[in-house]
Every structure is written in C-alpha cells, then in structure tokens.
Structure 1
Amino acid sequence: MLGHKERGQLELFMTGSLRQLIPDDYILAKVDRVLDLTWLRAEVSDLYCEHNGRPGIDPEVAVRLMLAGFLLGIVHDRRLMREAQVNLGIRWFIGYGLHEALPDHSFLTRIRQRWGVERFRRIFERTVEACIAAKIAKGDVVHVDASLIRADVSWESLAMRHVEAVAEANEDASVAERDSRKTGKFKKVCVTDPDATMATSGRNRRLEPSFKQHAVVDDVCGVVLDVEVTTGEINEGQVIIERIDATIETTGVDVEIVTADAGYAYARVFGGFERRGISAVIPTKAEPIRSPVPMRRFRYDAKNDTLKCPRGKTLRPTRPVKHGRFFYSKAADCRGCDLARLCLSKGRANKAVVVGDDYPALLRARRRREKWTEEDRRLYQRHRWRSEGFHGEAKSWHGLARAVRRGLSNMKIQSYLTAAAINLKRLAVAFLRLFLLVTSPQATICELRNAFSRILLPQTFINARGAA
C-alpha cells in the first residue's frame, strides 16, 4: 500500500535540550566536548564599558558562531546567519533556542573590528596550548610550508602602477618604462585591496592578486602550531626563522628538527637554524649556472675568510652588500690566467664574486643532503602530506581557497580561525578515541592508566566509564 504523510506541521512541542536532536558524531557536537572559552570574557572585557550602553553579544557566542562557520565551510557572514536560522546544530552550539532571534550578521564585522587581529591570534594559540597539554602535539619535529590564497578582488580592479607621473610629463617615456620594469614599478597593483600583491605558485601559471599563508605543522597529529599571513610577494625564506621562534614561544618546547621544501634552501635559513641548534631537513637547490666558471668551482676558506678560484688564486672580501660581501681577485692574478676569457665579465680586469653571509652553512647543508639517512627521507615524506595536507584541507573544507574579506588584517583573522578550527578537530578526534577506550568494557587497567597519563579527560568521560 502506498503510504501518505501529512506535511503540515501546525505546532512543535518539545521537552529537553536541542542536544537530544544532534547526532553524537556531528562535527559541532564533537568539537563542543573540547572547546573551552571560559577565559574569553576576561580577555576582551577592556573593550567594553562595564556600566553604560546596551548589552553586547556574548563574546563566546560570537567566537562559537565564527568557528561553526569555518568548521562547516560556511565562511561568509550573511550565509552563515541564514544557515543558523534553520540549522539546529548551529543554534545548539552557540546556545540559542528555537524561539530566540539571532543577531544581525553585521555584529560579526563589528566584533572583528573591535577585537583586532591579536585577540584572534590568542584564540588560535589557546587551541595550540590545549593540543600540547593533551599530548597530541610535541613541538620538537615540525614541518613548514607556505601557500598562496587568492585575494577577494576581480581582475577589473587591477591597474598598472603609474610610472613616476608618466616620467615627469613625458620627458622620456621609453627610458621611464625600461627603468620601471627593472625597479618593479611596472607591476600591476590591486586598487580595491592594496595589501594583496601579484604572485604565482608556478612559472607556467599567471600572476594573481594573492596573500601568502605560512604555517608550522607538528609531526605527531598534524596540529597547526603557528600560522601567519603576509602579502603574496613575500618570499617564504624571509619569514621561516621568525615563525620557528614564534612556535617555540607559543609551545614552550625547543624545536629540534624542521622540514621544508627547496623553496626555503637559502644560506641565511641554514645559518639561522645552525645558530639555534636546529637540524634542517631541507633539500638544497641546484646552483644556477650563469657563467662558464660557476660558483661551485670556487673554494671558500671559512677560517681565513678567503675564496680561492679554480686556479688557486685568492680572492679577498671587500665591500658588503645585502646578505653578503664582494670578494675580489687581483688583476695581476687574472692577467695571465688561461680561464680569464671564460671567467671574467666583459671589460673587467679582475674577478668579483658575491658570497652570502652564511655561505659555509649552505655548503654543509649541501654535503648533508648527499648523506641523508632513512630517517631524514622519512621525515621529508611526512612533510609532504603533513604540511601540504593542512593547506589542502584548509582550502578544500574550510573556505581558505579564497580570501573572504579584503585587507591583510581580515585575512589574518580568517587564517587564525581556520587553523583554530582544524586544531579543535584534531583535539576532538583524540578525545573521542580515548572516550571509546574509557567506556569500553574490554579496556584493561593498564590501557586506562596509559590513557589518563597521555591526556586529561573531562569529568563527563570519567562518569561515562563509571556508568558503563
């Protein structure tokens, strides 16, 4: 017999909590078990008047609503509030009943503007501290990588940078254009979001207005220990040292091993890690051959701070340049050399070579790369799916493929909340595994003791074990 269901629902009667309607395996239900925002009110209390004005939205409601959006991949405020109107899970997660009217979406914008970037970074750092305390992150072995994030602008908003007022009223347009190409003034800029700069992730791909996210990911469970956003044109090698220092400050644990791809293989990076006692598992780049007599044929003597050419003549340091110094040979040594025709530039009587400040560290890294152990190769393989996996997860599932709002500060807030949501997912999975162990009748005393030694279980988990 064909069934029939009356679709009219004139009244809704309900007793109990909305939690009874939420499945236990729903992402917001799992994250709620590990989310602690009791500290937040004191953190932002200095931004609100204690006695005057209308009562504002509860800070915990605002953060829970933002985190719910990033956990569910709903990153736009208007769409998030429309979804919260009908989604029982979001209403329960933020503490609103079915009869309560939700605030307007604009309050989220005002919250971001009032709190500022640093308070959202503090929310992210709290998730890192929770993961460290739960021992699902150690902080001694980390993976570093960067990824471009497309800015929230259209191609029509790009404009060519004005070339010095058209070379001072067309004095010499051809010379001005040639100079502008060399100095970078010829590059396109974004009018609607000046913080976004033109960048690309490959030589065969076009430049796009972008930001760049730099992330430090723990080796154990993929917890994000540090994240920072810069403009797209910033080279990742410029910020890796300070990101590792920030990671150490956040976790309180000394980093022992750092893995990264060849985009970080600079002398100053290897030198910075050596001074900090950190082992760098980074494949060194092949030396670009711009001369018939390449740099690798010159031998640097770190003890005497001299450089020797392929024929054994000494080049000595002179004037400094950015990140290095010039080494010059004597004209008399080059005059009768059989390599002078290939080695010297046109019109020069002696050889000039720039050696980086941490060039010896780069040489040691090249020698180490040739002797990588199986453990080094294993760690580098883990880097590929730990660090790059985080960026892929953030872009595919949590809306980080494109900036939601304009400006570097808004992009940082989006990045911090995305990383916080992913860390809460990692923490929720760890608690769920231990919860299943604690509530299992087959769990032995030894297994329970090890579980309690690894992580501090909430009282609800302990009660559940007693009830079982």
Structure 2
Amino acid sequence: MLAQQQKLQFSAFSGLYALIVPKDNLLRKISELIDFAFIYEELLDKYCLNNGRMAESPVRMFKYLLLKTIYTISDVDVVERSMYDMSFKYFLDMSPEEAVINPSSLTKFRKLRLKDADLLNLLIGKTVSLAIEKDIIKSRSIIVDATHSLSRSNPYSALEVLRERSKLLRKAVYSIDEDMKGRMPEKNASGELADELAYCKELEKLIESDQALCLIPAVKQKLNLLKEIVEDTQENYTLSKDRDARTGHKSVDSKFFGYKTHLAMTEERIITAAVVTSGEKGDGPELPILLKISQDNGIQVDTVIGDSAYSGKENLKLKDKSDQNINIVAKLNPSITQGFRKDEDRFDYNKAADMFVCPAGHIAIRKARQGEKNVGKNQVDTYYFDVEKCKICSLKDSCYKTGAKTKSYSVSIKSSLHKGQMAFQQTEYYREKASHRYKIEAKNSELKNVHGYGRAISNGITNMQMQGALAIFTVNLKRILKLTT
C-alpha cells in the first residue's frame, strides 16, 4: 500500500537542519533546485494504493539511489551513512530521529518498481526542461559522442573478481595495521571458485572480529563491496555471464567487453539525450535518434558537432532535409563517407581503429587501397578479416564462403561525393563549432571517474540504462547548480 509519503516529516528536532546543514551544501542545493514529486507520479501505478503493508515512499527510495550515484558507495554504506549524516537525512526528508530502511529494500525497489520505467529519458527530460526553464541553454548546437562502460562480469571471471576485491580489502587493512599480515587466513591457491568463496568468508569473519578496525571507513567500504560480490556469486555462481554485453573496439589493439552510451550535449554541457547499446555498435547510426530525443526534450538544433564517426552519408543528408537543415560539424573520412556499399547495415566502421567490424563483432586485421588516385576514377578500400575466425564463426553461413582463403570487405570512395561538406569544413563557422567538441570528452570523464560509470554495477542492458539514468541526472543537476550560482 502507498500513501502520500513524500510530505515533510514534522519533528521537534527538525530545527537542527538549519544549524547543521550549510546553505551551500550540495544536497541542500539539489533539494531546493528540483521537486522530486514527479518520481511519485511516475511510479504510482507500480504500487497498490489500498491493500497490504505501508510501503516506503518511492521518492525517498529514489533519493537513496541518487545518493549512491553522487558519492559512489554501496547499498549498505548509503543506508548506514543516512543514520548519522544530517545532510543525508535532510535530503531524504527524514526527521533527525527517524529510522532508516534495510539495505535489501533498495534491491527490491530497483527490481520491482523501476524495472519497466523509462528512467533514462524521464530523468534527462526533467533536467533539460529545468535548464530551459532557468534560461540556461542559449546555444542551438548539440555535441555527440559515445563512451564505453565495462561489463560487470568482464574482463574477470568470478574467481578473479573475488581475488581482486579481497586484495583491495587486505590493502586497506594493511594501511591501518601492518601487523594484521600475520593474522590473515592463508590465500586460496587453487583455481576452484568454491575454495575462493570459502577464503573470502574467512577473511570477512576475521576483519569483522576486530570491531575497531572494521569501523574505519576505508576498511568498511572495501569489506561491504566484498560482501556484495560474495553474495552475488553465491546466487548466480558466476559473474562472467552478461548476455547483453558485447565486445567493442577502442583501437586496433584495444578492445573492451561491455556497453556504449551514446550522448548528446549542449554547448552549456547539459546532456539532452542518451542511448545505451551493447559495445559493438557503431557511433554514427545513433545520431538520428539522439537528435530526435534532444528535439523532443525542447532543444532547438541547427548544428551537430562530433568526430569523424558521425560524417556518414545518412547523417550528412540531414543538411538537405527541409524539416531539419542540420549542419554536421564532423571531419570527413573516406571510409565512412562513400556512396553505396554492400551490407552497409551489417558492417560498422570503428573510428578509433580505422577499421570495419563484421556482424559477429570481429575487427579487420588490415586494409589496402586499390585504384588510381585520379579525378573521375573510383578507388576502393579493402578490409581483410582473420579467416581462421570466419571458419568457426556462428554467422559463417551468411558471411563466409566455405574453403575461401581470405575474407574481405570493400568500400568504394568517390572523390567528388562530398564537395559541399569539404567546402563547409573550410569555413570559420565550422572551425568555431568544432572547437567545442572537447567538452563532451570532459563530461565522459566526469561520468566515469566521479560517478563510477566506467563499469556496470549490475548485469544486463536494463540495469545499465538505470545506472546511466542516475549518473546523467546527477551530472546535469550539478551543472545546472553551477550555472545558476
């Protein structure tokens, strides 16, 4: 059962907040900036309104998740900190003496209440409308890029994840008390997951037996993270299975297993749209949907700023559409700005590696250009793939001819195809707009390094979207606060 629980809790001790929580406190400023009642309205149909036990306010539960993202801490730590941190209690609309929730309630809230909610578009749309309301957004340009997030289950097996977390815990303990080295349980030398689980439990038991040590924040946070991994491993027995994640390429020699988040952002550094895909997807094909979401959120766009991955033929056509007339400030690349090519919807260009990726996610190993470089004649770039991989590929029936010694993919290059765009690249307007592209790189860095977006905290693309929604909501609120003060 759910009641209107987002109302302020009145208490004889509420006056403490005015004394203890400073006016410039981040959480106080966020509370004053935005009304979180929209969360209650969005999730109302997820609750029974007239039957069952009284549920915790969805607004408060959402705020718990937001605190996790702002401070990059675990479920256990965010609940515990809300016991004594008055700024947390103020943000959560709790009276100073009010009891906190059980950490397990956050897991249930994510799975039962947020499972089918389009949280990503809801939260981005809310912050964009807030920025427009406060007259922050002056530009008519969006900057686009994609950032990658590693899957929770990769590149380590469950055994390796447990070893890494136990190592970090031991390191935190030794920084406090080096004498603990002699008391530590013997490390697991076998390759068995069950033995490593037993070792981690023994390590947990030892640390928890020292009450003074396990209450030190640096140790306690590492201990709680290890506990979460142990619990998850016991439930699923492996952390190496993430069915939605895929292998993507950052360069010829560098790859990752996980997801991509495709972002659009104004020159004022307000994120206006985001799309989460598996890691192998190309950047360029996501531009039209990023543009549409940004426009649906109220952003007027006449220019798109991006790298060469966005200079594909279909994106450049936005300039000629009467209802769009969008300038594409993206450097031309002959590998992706050619005319018709076979299977163009199946082979994706990877800008960092300057290679094409086949439908199975394998990147080309070399390329060669053929034909004379003369006006009026077409040249061809041919990309060669590792034929040994093709022989055992699950998609070989539709892609590889049995017995072939090579597998290649050719792209024709027409020298006169993009004269208009080449001329546009020489203009002062193009150069001025291109100078803003660095801003989205800095935003990607903030998401990853400050708010933990470099790695997924749960398996599955739905959970990745939820993580992205909270991270982007956080950085947008912080940016709005900075621009309004």
Given residue 42 of structure 2, which amino acid in structure 1 is its aligned partner?
Answer: E
**Structure 2 CA distance, aligned partners of 1:249 and 1:120?**
14
C-alpha deviation, 1:291, in angstroms: 3.5
Q: Does the C-alpha gap of structure 1 residues 360 and 218 become closer, same or farther in structure 2, counting only changes over 3 Å?
A: farther
Contact 1:150 1:211 in 2 (8 A): yes
**Map of 2:241 onto structure 1:** 192
**Map of 1:37 onto structure 2:** 36
In structure 1, runs of 5+ residues without a counterpart are 1-12, 159-189, 300-307, 311-352, 434-468
Matched, 1:86 2:141: no
Q: Does the C-alpha gap of structure 1 residues 196 and 273 become closer, same or farther in structure 2, counting only changes over 3 Å?
A: farther
**Map of 1:368 onto structure 2:** 424
Q: Deviations over 1:267-299 (max 9, x none)?
A: 2221244322100110112559834425x6464
**Structure 2 CA distance, aligned partners of 1:138 and 1:71?**
27
**Map of 1:95 onto structure 2:** 93
Given residue 259 of structure 2, which amino acid in structure 1 is its aligned partner?
Answer: F
**Structure 1 CA distance, aligned partners of 2:56 and 2:331?**
50
**Structure 2 CA distance, aligned partners of 1:22 and 1:54?**
33
> What is the TM-score of this pair, normalised by structure 1?
0.65
C-alpha deviation, 1:240, in angstroms: 1.1
RMSD: 2.8
**Structure 2 CA distance, aligned partners of 1:143 and 1:290?**
32
Q: Does the C-alpha gap of structure 1 residues 15 and 246 become closer, same or farther in structure 2, counting only changes over 3 Å?
A: closer
Given residue 86 of structure 1, which amino acid in structure 2 is its aligned partner?
Answer: Y
Q: Aligned to 2:79, what secondary structure does the other structure show?
A: helix
Q: Aligned to 1:89, what secondary structure does the other structure show?
A: helix
Amino-acid identity (%): 21
Given residue 263 of structure 2, which amino acid in structure 1 is its aligned partner?
Answer: A
Q: Which of the residues 368, 392, 404 maps onto 1:290?
A: 368
**Structure 2 CA distance, aligned partners of 1:271 and 1:133?**
32
Q: Aligned to 1:39, what secondary structure does the other structure show?
A: helix
Q: Deviations over 1:105-136 (max 9, x none)?
A: 22222222223241453123111111111111
Aligned length: 331
Given residue 295 of structure 2, which amino acid in structure 1 is its aligned partner?
Answer: I
Q: Does the C-alpha gap of structure 1 residues 106 and 264 become closer, same or farther in structure 2, counting only changes over 3 Å?
A: same
Given residue 199 of structure 1, which amino acid in structure 2 is its aligned partner?
Answer: G
Contact 1:267 1:359 in 2 (8 A): no
**Map of 2:315 onto structure 1:** 269
C-alpha deviation, 1:155, in angstroms: 3.2
**Map of 2:433 onto structure 1:** 379
Q: Does the C-alpha gap of structure 1 residues 362 and 69 become closer, same or farther in structure 2, counting only changes over 3 Å?
A: farther
Q: Aligned to 1:389, what secondary structure does the other structure show?
A: helix
Q: Which of the residues 218, 222, 226 maps onto 2:269?
A: 222
Given residue 109 of structure 1, which amino acid in structure 2 is its aligned partner?
Answer: T
**Structure 2 CA distance, aligned partners of 1:406 and 1:309?**
46
Contact 2:129 2:297 in 1 (8 A): yes
**Map of 2:132 onto structure 1:** 132
Q: Which of the residues 287, 291, 306 maps onto 1:260?
A: 306
Q: Deviations over 1:415-441 (max 9, x none)?
A: 11111111111222233x2xxxxxxxx
After superposition, where does 1:41-80 map in structure 2 within 5 Å? 41-74=40-73, 76-80=74-78
**Structure 1 CA distance, aligned partners of 2:65 and 2:31?**
14
Q: Deviations over 1:203-245 (max 9, x none)?
A: 232x2212101111111x2111111211010001121111111
**Structure 2 CA distance, aligned partners of 1:222 and 1:156?**
34
Q: Aligned to 2:82, what secondary structure does the other structure show?
A: helix
Given residue 83 of structure 1, which amino acid in structure 2 is its aligned partner?
Answer: R
Q: Which of the residues 472, 478, 482 maps onto 1:425?
A: 478
**Structure 1 CA distance, aligned partners of 2:44 and 2:104?**
20
**Structure 2 CA distance, aligned partners of 1:120 and 1:54?**
29
C-alpha deviation, 1:146, in angstroms: 0.6
After superposition, where does 1:350-365 map in structure 2 within 5 Å? 362-365=418-421
Matched, 1:407 2:453: no
Q: Does the C-alpha gap of structure 1 residues 135 and 263 become closer, same or farther in structure 2, counting only changes over 3 Å?
A: same
Q: Deviations over 1:392-419 (max 9, x none)?
A: 1111111112111111011111111111
C-alpha deviation, 1:354, in angstroms: 6.1
Contact 1:144 1:260 in 2 (8 A): yes
Q: Does the C-alpha gap of structure 1 residues 95 and 365 become closer, same or farther in structure 2, counting only changes over 3 Å?
A: same
Q: Which of the residues 246, 265, 282 maps onto 2:293?
A: 246
Contact 2:14 2:95 in 1 (8 A): no
Larger Rg: 1
**Structure 1 CA distance, aligned partners of 2:265 and 2:21?**
32
Q: Which of the residues 109, 127, 148 maps onto 1:111?
A: 109
**Map of 2:179 onto structure 1:** none
Q: Aligned to 1:153, what secondary structure does the other structure show?
A: coil
**Structure 1 CA distance, aligned partners of 2:151 and 2:450?**
18
Contact 1:260 1:281 in 2 (8 A): yes
Given residue 224 of structure 1, which amino acid in structure 2 is its aligned partner?
Answer: I
**Structure 1 CA distance, aligned partners of 2:289 and 2:120?**
19
Runs of 4+ in 1 over 6 A off after TM superposition: 358-361
**Map of 2:201 onto structure 1:** none
Q: Deviations over 1:18-71 (max 9, x none)?
A: 242012222112211101112332222111111001121112112222222222
C-alpha deviation, 1:309, in angstroms: 5.9
Given residue 302 of structure 2, which amino acid in structure 1 is its aligned partner?
Answer: E
Given residue 104 of structure 2, which amino acid in structure 1 is its aligned partner?
Answer: S
Q: Which of the residues 267, 270, 284 maps onto 1:237?
A: 284
Given residue 448 of structure 2, which amino acid in structure 1 is its aligned partner?
Answer: K
Q: Does the C-alpha gap of structure 1 residues 265 and 120 become closer, same or farther in structure 2, counting only changes over 3 Å?
A: closer
**Structure 2 CA distance, aligned partners of 1:217 and 1:279?**
16
C-alpha deviation, 1:360, in angstroms: 7.4
**Structure 2 CA distance, aligned partners of 1:309 and 1:264?**
23
Q: Does the C-alpha gap of structure 1 residues 244 and 309 become closer, same or farther in structure 2, counting only changes over 3 Å?
A: closer
**Structure 2 CA distance, aligned partners of 1:63 and 1:429?**
23
**Map of 2:141 onto structure 1:** 141
Given residue 277 of structure 2, which amino acid in structure 1 is its aligned partner?
Answer: T
**Structure 1 CA distance, aligned partners of 2:82 and 2:32?**
20
Q: Deviations over 1:173-228 (max 9, x none)?
A: xxxxxxxxxxxxxxxxx9511111112322232x2212101111111x21111112
**Structure 2 CA distance, aligned partners of 1:130 and 1:36?**
10
